[in-house]
Amino acid sequence: MIGFEYARAGNVADALRLIAGSQSAKFIAGGTNLVDLMKMDVERPTKLIDISRLPLTQVEETANGGLRIGALVPNSDLAYHPLVQQRYPVLSSAILAGASQQLRNMASTGGNLLQRTRCAYFYDTATPCNKREPGSGCSAIGGINRMHAIFGASDSCIAVHPSDMCVALAVLEATVHVTGVSGERAIAFADFHRLPGDTPQRDTNLGTDEIITAVELPPRGFAANHTYLKIRDRLSYAFALVSVAVGLELERDTIKEARLALGGVAHRPWRNALAEAELRGQPARPAAFTQAADVMLRDAKGFEHNSFKIDLARRCIVRALSQAARGVAQSQSIKKIA
């Protein structure tokens, strides 16, 4: 780890003032990913601005019946918050499917959005990586790419976003509130994370001089019919090979609204409007689930070691839709698939 200057921000304006004009300064909150990347020399900030004491730790109901989550609410507090458990159980479940309780106690809501890929080549400074060092090449395309993308990859990068929480936030169509020197703005969740394209070094559309202040959930929470199904190499404490978040609204047996997002398969949580449209108006039956999965997977492209993810994702989508339709969400502690 290279040496760095440390400064503690007392409020958001203070934090923005401290980062202004510095190309190599970074904010730090929970630090669970950033400190690790600094130890690996992947991140080399010369200045760290500690934002962990900013007053952004509230979970508040909004006037329209939604929820506003402060950017510094720890992941564990959010997962166990009564309003989240009651109204947005898919979010609670997705958070508890990720990391460990120790890490969730440290990790912040905003930081979860900003965590970086766990692509082994991104972490290994001895290998080329366009995300770490633009223009150096991608080692994963011709390398060990078992954990990598099957959607939205480019010739520059096939890394995936590692978050579980973000897959649920995609389904819930959250809004990310940010503040910069030029004021505040709201970013729709679907517009927050980027595809790699030819600029894989940029994971998100957050400006370098902007700070996430809150994540807002709209009222629709899919509390009755939802699931988060995560498949990984061991039963806990591992990143997803494929994960699926589902939210359904049913009227008797008919699907009125359907949301479906995949994790572990792309540079951002992956949704497909056509697959969701395929489900609306259909009876909640395996035929419709299979049809939606086929539409979802139509654009999938595997690499040497990860083509298995295409079939795995298809089966996970069908199973997750079935779980949500039955109102039997996948348990994150009882590991038998519901």
Task: Give me the residues that bind another protein (CB under 8 A), please.
Answer: 1-6, 22-25, 28, 31-32, 35-36, 38-39, 44, 46-48, 50, 52, 76, 80, 96, 99-103, 105-106, 235-237, 332-335
**Closer residue to another protein (CB): 17 or 194:** 17
Q: How far is the CB of 92 from another protein (least distance, A)?
A: 11
**Closer residue to another protein (CB): 48 or 174:** 48
**Closer residue to another protein (CB): 20 or 224:** 20
**Closer residue to another protein (CB): 239 or 270:** 239
Q: How far is the CB of 31 from another protein (least distance, A)?
A: 6
**Closer residue to another protein (CB): 28 or 245:** 28
Q: How far is the CB of 335 from another protein (least distance, A)?
A: 8
In whole angstroms, what is the distance from residue 57 CA to residue 253 CA?
40
Q: How far is the CB of 76 from another protein (least distance, A)?
A: 8
Q: How far is the CB of 323 from another protein (least distance, A)?
A: 18
